[in-house]
Chains A and B, each alone.
Chain A
């Protein structure tokens, strides 16, 4: 990675973190619910009472809402799978370049 690329990379990541973190820090007491929930509220506003005609598979299996902790666990699993794959390949690509074997197939 060239030097100015490295700099750009750092700037991008920092900017992304700031955009994500600032609202959270600035808006004290905001609820930070999902915009989906806001969406269903809007459906009810337009349509009147609305009863969803199908409930999520997992929720009907366990007969209730997925507990918050479990949901965040599952989301973490999703993130983990993704990060694992990216980190694995990034590591291999990085090492390949370092060893000067740029044109070899992975």
Chain B
């Protein structure tokens, strides 16, 4: 290992630890035991087709192309890092980002669902964050709905020939925001307001999650763009091999 590399690693490690000590508290994800059983099962079942598709797609990609493994590992690691950083927001509470945008852009939304569920299981078991009973619902919002929207935004902007970096930024941040909107809807479906029903409830939950998440969505967009810049300059052959934009 060169001196320079060692320094880089030390700097990154210090940076991540400094961020890791943000006051520990639960943020995002539906809490363990807070979703009625029927909803837990329903969301879980809804996730299955996506997970199975994702698993088969990943297997195919990796079987055909060993180079993809590097990028896949990095996308997964990116989710690990990003979703462990709890960041203070303007509303005076902490929340964290999802990090699934990168994987969605590189590998497509289905493949990311596998990466996402690994992180969610890790957090549910070890961190009492999110939960095993609400795993289905959380997987749906963070590892399926978010990435699908990211991918959609990415494809749309690509078609409109928008600046490449701006495209990545928009895809990641909108995907992050949508994750929380879906969480709000999931909670609202389970807890419709007595006066006004589900819609009023959606607004109430959005009022809790959305303002906190807005600045964080921007941060997620910025960080995703930053790592895409790194990958574009150092991992061109790998990006090409998975069919990421040809002009790079």
Contact = CB atoms under 8 A, between A and B. Distances in A.
B100 interface: no
Contacts of A75: 20, 24, 84, 86, 127
Contacts of A71: 24, 127-128
A9 B226 contact: yes
Contacts of A2: 233
Contacts of A102: 236-237
Counting chain A residues whose Cβ lies within 8 A of the other chain, the interface size class is 35 or more
- Chain B interface main SS type: helix
Interface in B109-128: 122-128
Interface string B205-248: 10011001101001100110111011011111110000000000
Interface of B: 1-2, 5, 8-9, 12-13, 16-17, 19-34, 37, 66-67, 70, 73-74, 76-95, 122-128, 131-133, 165, 187, 191-194, 201, 204-205, 208-209, 212-213, 215, 218-219, 222-223, 225-227, 229-230, 232-238
B33 A53 contact: yes
A30 B66 CA distance: 49
Contacts, number: 247
Interface of A: 1-2, 5, 8-9, 12-13, 15-16, 19-20, 23-24, 27, 30-40, 42-43, 45-47, 50, 52-59, 65-66, 68, 71-72, 74-87, 89-91, 93-97, 102-103, 105-106
Contacts of A84: 77
A23 to B, nearest CB: 5
B125 A33 contact: no
Contacts of A42: 187, 204-205, 208
Contacts of A45: 204
A44 B107 CA distance: 40
B187 A43 contact: yes
Contacts of B226: 9, 12-13, 16
A27 B90 contact: yes
B232 to A, nearest CB: 8
Nearest to A65: B128
A46 B187 CA distance: 11
Contact of A87 (B12, B76, B131): B12
Contact of A83 (B21, B81, B124, B131): B81
Contacts of B74: 85-86, 89-90
